[in-house]
Copies of this chain bind each other. A is one copy, B any other.
Amino acid sequence: MTNRQWLLSERPIGMVSEKNFSLMESAMPVPDAAKGEVLIKNLMLSFDPAMRGWMDDKPSYLPPVAINEAMRAAGIGQVIESSNPDLPKGTLVQGMVGWQEYLTAGPQSMFPPNALPEGTPPNIALSVLGGTSLTAYFGLLRIGEPKAGDTVVVSGAAGATGSAAAQIAKIKGCKVIGIAGGKEKCDWLLNAGLDAVVDYKSENISQRLAELCPDGINIFFDNVGGDALEAAIENAADNARFILCGSISNYNDASPKPGPKNMFYLIAKRIRMQGFIMFDYIEEVDVAMADLIQWLTDGKLQWREDIQEGFENIPKTLLRLFDGSNQGKQLLKLADPE
C-alpha cells in the first residue's frame, strides 16, 4: 500500500505556483499505538489564503512548512485504523490533515485530530461551520464589537470569511457594505442580504465608500489590505474599529509593499486597528458553533462552496484563491466516507 503527498519543494518568490510543489509516493505511514495514534484517510481538503503565509520562511503564529514536508492544510479525514477508543475506526476527524492521502496523528501531534460532530457532512464542516466562519465570528464580535446601526464594511466580502462576517453583521443589526470583484460576486452578496456592494474591478473604492457611508465607517473587516484598507481609513468614522483578518492583496508580493498613505487618520479619527488569529479564541469555539448552527438553521447564513476534485489537482486549486476564480469556500474532495 502506498501513500501520495504533495510536498512543498521550494518556497515561492512572489506568486505561488504549481512548480513550488512536488508529488511524492511513499509507503503508507504506520500509526504508533503506544502514542495513541490513528491512521487517517483524507476525504476533503480546505484551501485558505493563510496557507500562502505558511510557505514563507519568516516568524509567524505557526512555524513555516518545512521544505519537502507535505503542505499543511486543514481538512476532513476518516479513521481507518485505530487502537484509540476515543477515535474508533470509521470516525470522521477534522484538523490539519495536509496534502496527502493518508496520515497518522495522535494526542501528541502538533495538530491532534478532533472528531467531527456526529452527522456533520465534511463540506459543511469545512465551509459554513468551518474555520472561516469561526474567524468571521470572533473577529467581528470580539474585536469589532458591533452595535445595531453601525456601518460595517467588509473587504473580500464574497470569500468564505468575508461573507460570513458580512452576514453576522447583518444579524447584529448593522448596515453592511461588501467589497468584492465582479458583478457575479456582487449580485450574490446583495442576494445574501447586504445593503450595498462595491465592485473593486469597476469602481473607485474610496469614492463609492464615501457615497455609501455618509456618516463614515464604524467597523471595517479587512481580508484584503492594500487599496481597500487605505480607502476604508479614508472613510472611517471617529472611533472606528478595524479588524485585520487577512491581507490577500499582499500575500504573493515578492517584496513587501508599503502600507496605507493615510495612517495619520488613525490618530485624528482615533481608529483602533487590531489583528487577530482564530486559534486565540479556541476556548470559545463551542459558544460560536452553537450560534452559527442556530443562524444556519434559521436560514440567516448563506454560503457557497467551490468543490474541486482529484488528488492531482491540489496545487492548482490553491491558485484559485489568488486569481479570484473561486466562488465561495474553496474545497477539494478526495474520497467519500466509507
Asked if A267 and B280 sit within 8 Å, CB to CB, the answer is no
Total A residues in contact with B, Cβ cutoff 8 Å:
35
In the bound complex, what is the Cα–Cα distance between A264 and B265 (angstroms)?
19
Of A89-97, A251-259, A304-312, A321-329, the segment with at least 4 beta carbons within 8 Å of chain B is A251-259
* Of A59, A60, A266, most B-chain CB atoms within 10 Å: A266
Chain B residues contacting A276 (CB-CB under 8 Å) are 267, 270
Contact B267 A246 (CB under 8 A): yes
Instruction: List B contacts of A225 (CB < 8 A).
Output: 263-264
Q: A269-B275, A272-B274 are contacts. A261–B259 as well, Cβ < 8 Å?
A: yes
Chain B min CB distance to A236 (Å)? 10
Q: Which chain B residue lies CB-closest to A269?
A: B275
Complex interface: chain B residues within 8 A of A277 (CB): 267-268, 270
Q: How far is the CA of A37 from the CA of B51 in the complex (A)?
A: 65
Q: How many copies does the complex hold?
A: 2
| Residues in B whose Cβ lies below 8 Å from that of A272 | 272-275
**Given A256-B262, A260-B259, A264-B247; A280-B274 close (CB under 8 Å):** no
CB distance from A244 to the nearest CB of B (A): 5
The one of B263, B269, B275, B280 that contacts A247, using a Cβ cutoff of 8 Å: B263
The yes or no answer to A271 lying at the interface (CB within 8 A) is yes
A229: B residues at CB distance < 8 A: 263
Q: Are A266 and B275 neighbours in the complex by a CB distance under 8 Å?
A: yes
What CA separation (Å) do A246 and B263 show in the bound complex? 11
Distance in Å from the Cβ of A51 to the closest Cβ of chain B? 14
A250 at the A/B interface (Cβ < 8 Å)?
A: yes
- Across the interface, which residues of B come within 8 angstroms of A246, CB to CB? 267
Shortest C-beta distance, A68 to chain B (Å), equals 24
A245 at the interface (CB under 8 A from B): yes
- Cβ contact within 8 Å between B270 and A273: no
Digit string of A124-158 for contact with B (CB within 8 Å is 1, else 0)?
A: 00000000000000000000000000000000000
Closest B residue to A256 by CB, please name it. Answer: B261
Query: Measured between C-beta atoms, what is the minimum distance from A263 to chain B in Å?
Result: 4
Does B260 lie within 8 Å of A258, measured CB to CB?
yes
A53 at the interface (CB under 8 A from B): yes
Q: Could you say which residues of chain B place their CB within 8 Å of the CB of A264?
A: 53, 225, 247, 250, 256
In order of increasing CB-CB distance, the 5 nearest A-B pairs are: A259-B259, A258-B258, A267-B275, A266-B275, A256-B261
